Amino acid sequence: MTNIILLGPPGAGKGTQARILVEQRGMVQLSTGDMLRAAQSSGTEMGKKVTEVMAAGKLVTDEIVIGLIEEKLAEGGTGFIFDGFPRTLPQADALGALLDKRGDKLDSVIEMKVDPEALVDRITGRFTCGQCGEVYHDRTKPTHNAGACDVCGSTDLRRRADDNEESLRKRLFEYYQKTSPLIGYYYAKGTLRGVDGMAEPEAVSAQIAKILGPA
Ligand code: AP5
């Protein structure tokens, strides 16, 4: 099965598209952001260590996130969607080595292109279901019944501590400084593909489906 990276700034729609791919193709979403948030809520030492870093919109160390991905890959499986990983050149090298070790490879790196001006609205309006992870937006994708998730009915709807304008500016700075060099890295490897992330979510999915081929 295909292994892909969804690459793009905060709010580009990586999580939204990953959930669609999981549902439509049975792929496995590996989101380092979700793994780090799970570590925070379960109160592990590592979770405590990264809380301030994440709230401030800075990147967690390569060592921690590479370790998290290594653990997940060791559980086996294939058809991975790397969502929010890699974010630095050392992380990209580490991912290549980890996949090599399994006799596996990266098929496509999908760059989700979005105007930076659109990101503030997307991020400050976002909320998610704490139970099933469905992603919503105050204006563009509200729940049908106020206060309850459309998918699982849970009333545990959450906003992230880093989803404010100040943290977002820092996250964007980190993205353009440390993550955007990966665009050239994967272009040189011949795996980079681009999609228009400004399109409606369904149209973005259709572009990704075209890149991946039949399910
Ligand atoms: P992470 O959780 O990965 O956050 P992120 O990369 O900032 O991305 P987001 O989850 O904010 O956005 P998204 O692209 O998934 O957008 P979404 O689909 O939700 O990382 C958080 C933090 O963890 C980092 O800052 C860092 O501290 C740490 N971290 C994580 N990984 C790390 C790593 N590898 N190395 C070091 N540190 C790491 O959509 C956003 C909103 O827009 C939603 O409301 C949605 O409904 C809406 N939307 C989606 N698509 C569309 C569309 N096409 N049109 C209109 N609206 C849309």
**Residue 115 C-alpha to ligand 1 middle, in angstroms?**
14
Catalytic residue among 113, 160, 170, 178: 160
Query: What's the pTM value of the predicted model, to 2 decimals?
Result: 0.96
**Using one digit for the tens of pLDDT, what is the confidence trace for 184-194?**
999 999 999 99
* The dihedral sign for the CA sequence 148, 153, 156, 158: negative
Task: Provide the pLDDT for residue 162.
Answer: 92
**Would the pLDDT of 130 be above 90?**
yes
Mean model confidence pLDDT for the chain: 95
For the Cβ of 85 lying below 6 angstroms from any atom of ligand 1, the answer is: yes
Mutate to test the pocket of ligand 1, among 35, 140, 174 (most ligand atoms within 8 A of CB): 140
Catalytic residue among 19, 72, 87, 193: 87
Q: What is the DSSP secondary structure assignment for residue 213, as one 8-state letter?
A: -
Residue 175's pLDDT band, with cuts at 50, 70 and 90, is very high
Q: Relative to the CA of 163, which ligand 1 atom is closest?
A: 11
Catalytic site includes residue 19? no
Arithmetic mean of pLDDT, 166-193: 97
For the Cβ of 141 lying below 6 angstroms from any atom of ligand 1, the answer is: yes
Task: Provide the pLDDT for residue 1.
Answer: 81
Task: Provide the pLDDT for residue 81.
Answer: 98
Q: What percent of the chain has pLDDT over 70?
A: 100
Q: What percent of the chain has pLDDT over 90?
A: 94
**Using one digit for the tens of pLDDT, what is the confidence trace for 26-82?**
999 999 999 999 999 999 999 999 999 999 999 999 999 999 999 999 998 889 999
Nearest CA to ligand 1 atom 55: 200
Question: Omega before 214 cis (within 30°)?
Answer: no
For the Cβ of 9 lying below 6 angstroms from any atom of ligand 1, the answer is: no
Structure tokens at 70: 């290594």
Task: Provide the pLDDT for residue 164.
Answer: 93
Q: Relative to the CA of 87, which ligand 1 atom is closest?
A: 34
* The dihedral sign for the CA sequence 65, 68, 74, 79: negative
Residue 146's pLDDT band, with cuts at 50, 70 and 90, is confident
Catalytic site includes residue 193? no
Return d(Cα 198, Cα 195) in angstroms, integer: 9
Nearest CA to ligand 1 atom 53: 201
Residue 215's pLDDT band, with cuts at 50, 70 and 90, is confident
Return d(Cα 211, Cα 215) in angstroms, integer: 11
Mutate to test the pocket of ligand 1, among 6, 23, 32, 111 (most ligand atoms within 8 A of CB): 32
